[in-house]
Amino acid sequence: MASVELRGLTKKYGPLAVVDDVSMTIEHGTLVCLLGPSGCGKTTTLRLIAGFVEPTAGEIRVGDRIVSSPQKTLPPERRNMSMIFQSYALWPHMTVAENIMYGLKLRKIDSATIKQKLDGILSTTRLAPLAQRYPGELSGGQQQRVALARALIVEPETLLLDEPLSNLDANLREEMRFEVRRLHDAFRYTTVYVTHDQSEAMTTADVICVMNLGKVEQAGSPQEIYDTPRSEFVARFIGMSNVFKGKALDNTRVEFAGVPLRVTGEPLRPNAMTPVSIRQHQIQLLATAPADRDNVVPAKVIRQVFLGSSRDYMVEAPDGTQLRIVTEADGSFDAGADVWLRMPAERCRALAG
């Protein structure tokens, strides 16, 4: 296995930078998710790593080899990488076993070694009972496991996955997230995984790189990205935070709806309008004003929806800002009710402007 390093990687189509000066190091054995909305540059980054696209600037290193630069690009077949696409591209006339060992036969591996590797991968991917079936006789999840097994059996230095679960229904997609992670833990290949699905990234990744407009906005563990977003884009994209703006009063407080709120997060610039995030489940909804009014804001309920295990509220602060709040199902505030919002200082995160 080898690390993958991107240095100032850029891809332009005319004046448009689809990937814009991206630098990161993916340590060997790490599963990194490139996460972001359509058009953010994540798939182009993956295709640059694979060698299907040549960079406009910057370079890609795998271990101590430069595999891509504007001067020279190593072709995909010489990169010792395996890539899994949205469509699994299984040979319909081949059995599961034949599909999986196809790459080994192309490499002219001897039959004894092929059998040994095939038996091992069939066992690890739990496909042994299906070895003699054809792709048309498999479910979507089973076909995905075959595609993974075929990619893994050739022992690549790097495994690349381009939204591999997007064609599955919701239940299978959830099941396969854990399967992808289990197989990664079994083989520990350096893996780059592209997805627009936050839950997929949170379940599978060691490191999440949130991309926007061709750049990496923030990189970190799933918990770091969720708990400590640094930008408004990341806060909104991961976990659907409320984001509001307030005037910074000093180094620790912003004024929101006439109330001074203590906040954490990015450094404040006094008198500057500062975006602040707080997640929907982190706001406490109160029927009466508490004795301790620290970080407490008055509001009015605009609507509430009962969702079985929870209630979903929209409330409006005195300055007209609307916030979404999710609470337990017990108790209820009707539309039009006056309420108080306790917004803990440690949960109010100032973001980069």
In sequence order, which residues have a C-beta less than 8 Å from that of residue 95 and are 6 or more positions away? 131, 132, 133, 134
State how far the Cα of 188 lies from the Cα of 158, in Å rounded to an integer: 10
R_g of the chain, CA atoms, integer Å = 25
Using alpha carbons only, what angle is made at residue 50 by residues 233 and 32, rounded to the nearest 5 degrees?
A: 40
State how far the Cα of 264 lies from the Cα of 272, in Å rounded to an integer: 16
Report all structural domains of the chain as residue ranges with CATH numbers, in order of start: 4-227 (3.40.50.300), 232-350 (2.40.50.140)
pLDDT above 90: residue 97 = yes
State how far the Cα of 192 lies from the Cα of 110, in Å rounded to an integer: 30
pLDDT above 70: residue 306 = yes
pLDDT one-digit tens code per residue, 33-66: 999 999 999 999 999 999 999 999 999 999 989 9
pLDDT one-digit tens code per residue, 200-259: 999 999 999 999 999 999 999 999 999 999 999 999 999 889 999 999 999 999 999 999
The model's pTM is 0.87
pLDDT above 70: residue 1 = no
State how far the Cα of 42 lies from the Cα of 214, in Å rounded to an integer: 8
Handedness of CA 127, 133, 135, 137 (dihedral sign): negative
